[in-house]
Amino acid sequence: MNAPSPAPSLARIARGGKSIYGAPLGILMLEARFPRIPGDMGNGETWPFPVLFRVVRGATPERVVLKGAPGLLPDFIAAAQDLVDLGAEAITTNCGFLSLFQKELAAAVGVPVATSSLMQVPWVQATLPPGKRVGVVTVSKGSLTPAHLEAAGVPLDTPVVGTEGGREFFRVLISAEKSDMDVALAEQDIVEAGRALVAAHPDVGAIVLECTNMPPYAAALQAAVGLPVYDIYSMITWFHAGLRPRRFG
């Protein structure tokens, strides 16, 4: 049940430096029905801190990933504003392809916004030795356009591999939207995509996972390729750390 619209914004009625609802981070969700297993961004138990979820109706994975999210910006802005009214002090999304809306969302809501795991690519690149670069594993290489990369600050020559050719992950998340999933097969799809990325580009020194449904498989991928792997979980835990810095002593 939605809370009544507060006036003034609950974000401005914080008590003791904390959001009234104890959840300073708001997550904009696609309208999807696939399983939210532990580690998935849409599973509340994934996070070591409270979060607020808001589903954007009509924003299906097919429409956002495969079609470029046409006509959905006003809906995402409205949903983000609702989360801010409920006390969110920062906004993120559960689809890396929403990097397209980064500037517009940040301008509209007036709080920090991190739309995409891809925003980590420049940070990770800065940690690598000379001659090494970041590679990206995405749910759909064919749909990840230069506009998506530019919006997240990702160099256009970044090596990218998708999961379209896999047996389970892409089919469940995008093409079929099943209500069940073979987790072992999905993990294999991610690992195989990462291995293909490294095999084709030996200069890859770290991997960023675009899709917010990939964190459950990040550890298996890291073990398989022996490289650092970053995902939406690594980014949002960093993002949240600035909202609630740890107190020492």
Q: For the segment 139-167, what is each residue's pLDDT rounded down to a tens digit?
A: 999 999 999 999 999 999 999 999 999 99
- Residue 42 and residue 139 in one domain: no
Residues 56 and 76 occupy one common structural domain? yes
Q: Is the pLDDT of residue 98 over 70?
A: yes
DSSP secondary structure, the chain, as one string? -PPPPPSS-GGGS-BTTB-TTS--EEEEE----S---TTSTT-GGGSSS-EEEEE-TT--HIIIIIT--TT-HHHHHHHHHHHHHTT-SEEEES-GGGGGGHHHHHHHH-S-EE--GGGGHHHHHHHSPTT-EEEEEES-GGG--HHHHHHTT--TT--EEESTTSSSHHIIIIIS--S---HHHHHHHHHHHHHHHHHH-TTEEEEEE--TT-GGGHHHHHHHH-S-EE-HHHHHHHHHHHHSPPP--
Has residue 157 been placed in a domain? Answer: yes
Are both 111 and 176 inside the same structural domain? no
Instruction: Note the pLDDT of residue 3.
Output: 40
Domain CATH for 74: 3.40.50.1860
Query: Is the pLDDT score of 105 beyond 80?
Result: yes
Number of domains into which the chain is organized: 2
Above 60 in pLDDT, residue 13? no
Q: How confident is the model at residue 5 (pLDDT cuts 50, 70, 90)?
A: very low
Find the range with the poorest average confidence among 75-79, 172-176, 222-226: 172-176
pLDDT score of 2 more than 90: no
CA separation for the pair 134, 124 (Å, rounded)? 7
Residue 1 domain flag: no
**200 in the same domain as 110:** no
Q: What percent of the chain has pLDDT over 70?
A: 89
Examine residue 218 and state whether it is found in any structural domain, yes or no.
yes
Residue 5 lies in a domain: no
Same domain as 167, residue 133: yes
Report whether pLDDT(131) > 70: yes
Looking at the fold, whether 160 and 108 belong to one and the same domain comes out as no
Tell whether 87 is covered by a domain. Answer: yes
**Is the preceding omega at residue 8 within 30 degrees of 0, hence cis?**
yes
Residues 122 and 222 in one domain: yes
Q: Are residues 192 and 221 in the same domain?
A: yes
Q: Are 179 and 208 contacting, i.e. CB atoms less than 8 angstroms apart?
A: no
Q: How confident is the model at residue 1 (pLDDT cuts 50, 70, 90)?
A: very low
Do 91 and 124 reside in the same domain of the chain? no
List, edge to edge, every strand of the sheet that includes 229-230.
Answer: 160-162, 133-138, 204-209, 229-230
Q: Is residue 17 part of a domain?
A: yes
Residue 249 counted as domain residue: no
Domain that holds residue 85: 10-115+235-243
Q: Identify the weakest region by mean pLDDT among 177-181, 216-220, 245-249.
A: 177-181
Read off φ and ψ for residue 135, nearest 5 degrees: -115, 155
Same domain, 221 and 132: yes
Over range 106-130, report the average pLDDT.
97
Domain assignment present for 2: no
Q: pTM, whole model, 2 decimals? A: 0.90
At 176 the pLDDT is 56
pLDDT class for 21, splitting at 50, 70, 90? low
Which strand (E) or helix (H) includes residue 240? Answer: helix 232-243
Q: Which range among 2-16, 64-78, 100-114 shows the weakest confidence by mean pLDDT?
A: 2-16
Q: 142 and 98 in one domain?
A: no
Same-domain status, 138 and 217: yes
